[in-house]
Amino acid sequence: MSSRVLVLNGPNLNLLGTREPAVYGSRSLADIEAELAEVARRSGAEVVFFQSNHEGALVDRIHSAKLDGTDFLIVNAGAFTHTSVALRDALAAVELPFIEVHLSNVHRREQFRHHSYLADLALGTIVGLGAAGYRYALEYALGHTAKNSKDH
């Protein structure tokens, strides 16, 4: 069975490309997603995407990941990273492995961005590497899910 990875993006990430390009880069979310889809296709894996500006919609999508055969999540929760106990609880509830990604290096920015409600649940975090961070996370996820399916 091919592995299935869900890439979840939170608030304001739909504006990538035009939103503060000096901080977040000039690539649109659609452009980043197209690259990830190509990486997955080459590995015979499936990647699906979800972006929302609404906390509850992100919680609902995490819940449905438990039921739809998702093996791994890549999560950039945007500002909800720093505020949302609900997203943390949803990720804890579904017990799916995930990597937390941030385009910017949150540790070089304002103090309020230094804390993540998700980080200690994540397998790992990638910050500050721009759009490449999603690709590195996907490459790891594909290796991780291939390894786990061999073990079972």
Which residues are marked as active site? 24, 102
Any residues with CB less than 8 A from the CB of 35 and at least 6 apart, and which?
131, 135
Q: How far is the CB of 144 from ligand DQA (least distance, A)?
A: 22
Looking at the Cβ atoms of 45 and 75, the one nearer to ligand DQA is 75
Looking at the Cβ atoms of 2 and 28, the one nearer to ligand DQA is 28
Q: How far is the CB of 69 from ligand DQA (least distance, A)?
A: 27
Residue-wise DSSP of 44-92: T-EEEEEE-S-HHHHHHHHHHHHHTT--EEEEE-GGGGGT-HHHHHHHH
Q: How far is the CB of 28 from ligand DQA (least distance, A)?
A: 14
Residues that bind ligand DQA (CB under 6 A): 12, 76, 78-79, 81, 102-104, 106, 113
Number of H helices, E strands in the chain: 5, 5
Looking at the Cβ atoms of 24 and 72, the one nearer to ligand DQA is 24
